[in-house]
Chain A
């Protein structure tokens, strides 16, 4: 770790972007499978090159900025979204020796901070578009993401208390004997729900809500700017999944197989679970979403913190 991991800095964003693009195809194939239809299967083996075809199509589309929009912020918004997600990956330890700043002593807080800044992408896109559907989407996004950030932070407290560190490397090492999903099952559930809300994925995609808001915050976006929102959302799913892997599923640790492969396997399973949720669940109403957060998830995560603290204190005493 002493030399500058230049290669890692260059490769990580490229790999993540490629995976996020691939994920758009994986999601459509899996949804097809679960909904008893084919999904994209024409371009390349099994439709694999559909993602490439979509990329080329979106690159050649007219890149239009509405005349009534606030131009500077309209362009800035998708950039913020992409940047915060990609920066977060810097702090995730994919294996024991890799990760750009895998041993950052406030690694977990760094990622939470980046997610907090990621809210601006959606909110500013909604504001800068200067149209009512986009504005409504942006306002929903602001309220939803701010609220769920609270529960996300609180649900992670349990993990931090047991591991005794914000350092993601230390948190993974603390799970050598027992994955945190067992003692922290409550925190895990809250984190998972908050993670879905934070990436505004179905069933919690109310900022977009295409059947009530057009397309929500990115109604006015076209071409590659829309593409950046789209890819950033998929990169966000990968980010939340790798966080779940790191915090609750023992990170890269596992028998026989190499560490990187274990990380990939666990993360992929969580990603597929995310997609399954989209296939299975309907979208709640907006007030139901907020009520779920403040009336159920908040008390649950507080209970989790209290219980974890009590157990740790009793164990230290006895």
Chain B
């Protein structure tokens, strides 16, 4: 299982690298889908099948489709491809790469210094997730619902047909 998790992790990382180096936007989005699917596999292998399923349904299946939808509406062409090439010069890589290496070092340090967990992980069922969401994290759930409501109202306001003002 460890090998499988590492393998899916490698696929995820490779996908993520491909996302930022593609010049055609749709190709990048497709690699992002692969990355998300890899992430879902990691979740499933770590004993969280519910989180894995949600990752596939919401991120890979819905949000990424909206990305593709928007890209199709924009009708990107050769000029965008060239501009993308312009942006992907090595100089621009320097800053983000340095910062990422710092984060990576921090992650490796924290993982290696934390105590090893032995034994098989107990799979987390949907019931457990629901109980913890509406138990200790209920405040967070309510706050997120505020945020979503605000987003909904804003979208409604922007998308409304204004007929009376003219």
On whether the two chains bind one another, the answer is yes
A residues sitting closer than 8 Å to B (CB atoms) are 70, 73, 104-106, 109-110, 112-117, 119-120, 123-124, 126-127, 135, 138-139, 142-143, 145-146, 149, 153, 166
B60 in the interface, Cβ–Cβ < 8 Å?
yes
Closest chain A CB from B41 CB (angstroms): 12
In the A-B complex, the 3 residue pairs with the closest CB atoms: A116-B61, A109-B53, A113-B56
B30 CB contacts on chain A under 8 angstroms: 73, 124
Closest chain B CB from A202 CB (angstroms): 23
Q: List 9 A-B contacts (CB under 8 A).
A: A109-B53, A112-B53, A117-B56, A119-B61, A124-B30, A135-B72, A143-B69, A146-B62, A166-B126
B28 in the interface, Cβ–Cβ < 8 Å?
no
Q: Beyond A116-B57, A135-B72, A142-B68, is A109–B50 a contact (Cβ under 8 Å)?
A: yes
Residues 12-52 of B, flagged 1 when their CB comes within 8 A of A and 0 if not, give: 00000000000010110010010000000000000001101
Contact B68 A109, beta carbon cutoff 8 Å: no
Contact B62 A149, beta carbon cutoff 8 Å: yes
Q: How far is the CA of A104 from the CA of B44 in the complex (A)?
A: 12
B52 CB contacts on chain A under 8 angstroms: 106
Give the dominant DSSP class at B's interface. Answer: helix
B105 in the interface, Cβ–Cβ < 8 Å?
no
Q: How far is the CA of A32 from the CA of B79 in the complex (A)?
A: 52
Give the dominant DSSP class at A's interface. Answer: helix
Q: Beyond A105-B125, A113-B61, is A123–B69 a contact (Cβ under 8 Å)?
A: yes
Closest chain B CB from A110 CB (angstroms): 6
B residues sitting closer than 8 Å to A (CB atoms) are 24, 26-27, 30, 33, 49-50, 52-54, 56-57, 60-62, 65-66, 68-69, 71-73, 123, 125-126
Other than A105-B126, A127-B72, give 6 A-B pairs with Cβ distance below 8 A. Answer: A104-B49, A113-B56, A116-B65, A123-B68, A127-B68, A146-B66
B125 CB contacts on chain A under 8 angstroms: 105
Contact A126 B72, beta carbon cutoff 8 Å: yes
Closest chain B CB from A170 CB (angstroms): 12
Closest chain B CB from A55 CB (angstroms): 30
Q: How far is the CA of A110 from the CA of B26 in the complex (A)?
A: 25
Q: How far is the CA of A153 from the CA of B61 in the complex (A)?
A: 13
B72 CB contacts on chain A under 8 angstroms: 123, 126-127, 135, 138-139, 142
Q: How far is the CA of A115 from the CA of B62 in the complex (A)?
A: 10
B33 CB contacts on chain A under 8 angstroms: 117, 120
B27 CB contacts on chain A under 8 angstroms: 73
Smallest CB-CB separation from A153: which chain B residue?
A: B57
Closest chain A CB from B164 CB (angstroms): 22
Contact A149 B61, beta carbon cutoff 8 Å: yes
Q: Beyond A139-B72, A139-B73, is A109–B57 a contact (Cβ under 8 Å)?
A: yes
A120 CB contacts on chain B under 8 angstroms: 33, 65, 68
Q: How far is the CA of A181 from the CA of B63 in the complex (A)?
A: 31
Closest chain A CB from B81 CB (angstroms): 12
Closest chain A CB from B63 CB (angstroms): 10
A124 CB contacts on chain B under 8 angstroms: 26, 30, 68
A104 CB contacts on chain B under 8 angstroms: 49
B60 CB contacts on chain A under 8 angstroms: 113, 116-117
Residue in B49, B65, B126 whose CB lies within 8 Å of A119: B65
B69 CB contacts on chain A under 8 angstroms: 123, 139, 142-143, 146
Most chain A CB within a 10 A radius of its CB, from B26, B53, B123: B53
A115 CB contacts on chain B under 8 angstroms: 61
Q: How far is the CA of A145 from the CA of B61 in the complex (A)?
A: 10
Residue in B26, B56, B68, B123 whose CB lies within 8 Å of A116: B56
A126 CB contacts on chain B under 8 angstroms: 72
Q: How far is the CA of A110 from the CA of B123 in the complex (A)?
A: 16
A123 CB contacts on chain B under 8 angstroms: 65, 68-69, 72
Smallest CB-CB separation from B70: which chain A residue?
A: A142
Contact A110 B53, beta carbon cutoff 8 Å: yes
Smallest CB-CB separation from A142: which chain B residue?
A: B69
Q: How far is the CA of A124 from the CA of B30 in the complex (A)?
A: 10
